[in-house]
Amino acid sequence: MLPDSSMLKTLTVFFLACWLCACGKSEYESALAAYNAGDFATAYARLLPLAEAGDAMAQNNLGLLYKKGQGVPLDATEAVKWFSKAANQRLADAQVNLGNMYRYGHGVPTDYEEAAEWYLKAARQGSAAAQVRLARLYVKGLGVQRDYWEAMKWSRKAAVQGNAEAQTNIGDMFLEGFGVPQDYAEAYKWYLRAAEQGWVGSQHNIGVMYQKGMGVTRDYGKAMQWYLKAAVQGYAPAQSNIGNMYLEGLGVRQDYAEALNWSLKAAEQGDAVAQYTLATIYQKGLGIPADHKEALKWYQKAAEQGHAMAQYGLGSMYHFGQATAQDDITAYAWLGIAAAGGFTPAQDSRDAIESQLSPEDLERARALARELWDKYGNKESGGG
């Protein structure tokens, strides 16, 4: 019995679909091979027709090329377009990428609610990357109402898949007592899981716990070991802490040259604590000739990030005219915001200067302090 025309049409469509899928898979694999070989132009040329034909994975990868400017001019708007096409086909990776674009305002205005919606779509499909990003939004209350229970729920879903960032999130929540009783031992357990996967943030956090004896016996040697694991990967906070350990001789022989070396690595990445340490080394001449010009430079960089002790150091240098013209108006302003930011020794220095200023200069100093506070005040620690 011969098949009727409708069956013939169905079979024709079926075999055509199979043929197209096979061809598409071959083209897609060759596009990935070109990408992995660094031939982004060829990868783009092979992905484009697949993406235009509706292949969601090709659309997502085309979006990545536009996002990174690989093989095409960097174009966040075009990246959003292709991510959207794939995301609307329920491709979880594309939903995560689209969520990231809304989260950080790349190619679209920042929209935390939209980011949360796309993360949720992917998270419900089991995407660990989406689950951990959604958890972060719940912790910070961005686009969703702050909810530590939801943050923990989604972090655990990602963590059981071995996601190191999620394991770190859980460690953070136990460390700070966010939505759970504060438990350093539990925090350590989760940090260790992530650290053993090479997650630098957790490696650093374990170092901090050993240095301070939080949930573990204080052990400067083990702190240094964990800091080094993160530091050699370029993690600035770990480099900064190593610098301080050499500066203070904690678990290692005191070595100002090593303190300078590690602090400089972190300071050049913008780490405010390291910038402050570096300024102190230069100002006091620890292991090197004192260099007030360098000290002033690094105090300034850290002070402008809200580091209250650096603001105090900077104010003091203006007061004493070290590497800069003596200027008690500027000194008063920096000392004032250092005091308001929680560094109480700055208050006495500020008050001593205040007693020497004329009413006119005091008004100018207070106006400058208000301006500096708005820009650089450490508002999390004090003042307002």
pLDDT in tens, the chain (384 residues): 334 444 434 333 333 334 344 444 578 899 999 999 999 999 999 999 999 999 999 999 999 999 999 999 999 999 999 999 999 999 999 999 999 999 999 999 999 999 999 999 999 999 999 999 999 999 999 999 999 999 999 999 999 999 999 999 999 999 999 999 999 999 999 999 999 999 999 999 999 999 999 999 999 999 999 999 999 999 999 999 999 999 999 999 999 999 999 999 999 999 999 999 999 999 999 999 999 999 999 999 999 999 999 999 999 999 999 999 999 999 999 999 999 999 999 999 999 999 999 999 999 999 999 999 999 998 676 554
CA–CA gap between residue 159 and residue 77 (Å, rounded): 32
| Host H or E run for residue 255 | none
The pLDDT assigned to 25 comes to: 52
* Cβ neighbours for 362, distance < 8 A, ≥ 6 positions apart: 332, 354
The pLDDT assigned to 26 comes to: 76
What is the reported pTM?
A: 0.83
Dig out the tokens for 161 from the structure.
């898949």
Note whether 58 and 51 are within 8 A (CB).
yes
Nearest residue to 299 via CA among 282, 285, 287: 282
Dig out the tokens for 351 from the structure.
């008050």
The pLDDT assigned to 355 comes to: 95
Alpha helices, DSSP H only, in 141-199?
A: 148-159, 164-176, 184-195
Dig out the tokens for 376 from the structure.
């650089």
The pLDDT assigned to 27 comes to: 85
Nearest residue to 142 via CA among 179, 116, 169, 181: 116
The pLDDT assigned to 244 comes to: 98
Dig out the tokens for 353 from the structure.
């200067």
CA–CA gap between residue 364 and residue 342 (Å, rounded): 23
The pLDDT assigned to 381 comes to: 61
